[in-house]
């Protein structure tokens, strides 16, 4: 069984005026990420939206020292970007579509994602989203350590750091055994 994990493709990470935007690189993957997501939903495969949920007043959260406030709980910065939001609104009530609020880079850190995947006998994960070299990377490392087979949609991941993006794609393949598709 397989699942698609859509990571942080939100207004704050993609829009021109987003708080921590990937800008044009993130915007360029909109069609691909939407297409892959719809394909999984229409095939009744499990689709997880793993989305940052931050409180800028949390003085213990390390990201608050590293990055400007982004994906703040209760703001439109957490809304899915562009056509992906439309797809989510259309299908969110299906039992195969699941939203996870996450506090850390990895979609596995502090969430019930691994439990949700295992109870569905999912062994293959297809990753999309931003940032390739941060949240997608950390999710992939945790997935690898938990024994999942990884697939990365090259046309559906992006970063604000082109060198980091390319490094992460190589790392997925050479170190985590992921298939880049």
- The whole-chain average pLDDT of the chain stands at 96
Report pTM. Answer: 0.96
The number of beta carbons lying within 10 Å of the beta carbon of residue 84 is 24
Paired sense of beta strands 149-158 and 179-180, if any:
parallel
- Is residue 150 within 8 Å of 177, Cβ to Cβ? yes
State the total domains in the chain: 1
Give the whole-angstrom CA distance, residue 98 versus residue 123: 17
Q: Packing angle between helix 162-174 and helix 137-145, nearest 10 degrees?
A: 10
Residue 149: give the domain boundaries: 2-180
Task: Kindly indicate the confidence band of residue 66, based on its pLDDT and cuts at 50, 70 and 90.
Answer: confident
The domain that holds 139 is classified in CATH as: 3.40.50.850
């Amino acid at each position: 069984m397989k699942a698609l994990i859509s990571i942080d493709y939100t207004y704050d990470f993609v829009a021109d005026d987003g708080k921590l935007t990937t800008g044009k690189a993130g915007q360029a993957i909109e069609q691909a990420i939407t297409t892959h997501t719809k394909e999984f939903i229409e095939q009744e495969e499990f689709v997880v939206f793993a989305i940052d949920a931050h409180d800028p007043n949390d003085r213990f959260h390390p990201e608050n020292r590293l990055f400007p406030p982004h994906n703040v709980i209760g703001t439109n910065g957490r809304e899915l970007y562009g056509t992906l939001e439309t797809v989510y609104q259309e299908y969110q009530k299906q039992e195969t579509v699941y939203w996870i609020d996450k506090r850390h880079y990895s979609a596995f850190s502090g969430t019930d994602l691994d439990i949700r995947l295992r109870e569905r006998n999912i062994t293959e994960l297809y990753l999309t989203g931003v940032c390739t070299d941060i949240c997608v990377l950390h999710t992939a490392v945790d997935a690898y350590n938990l024994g999942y087979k990884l697939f990365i949609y090259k046309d559906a991941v992006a970063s604000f750091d082109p060198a980091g993006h390319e490094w992460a794609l190589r790392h997925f393949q050479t170190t985590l055994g992921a298939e880049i598709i």
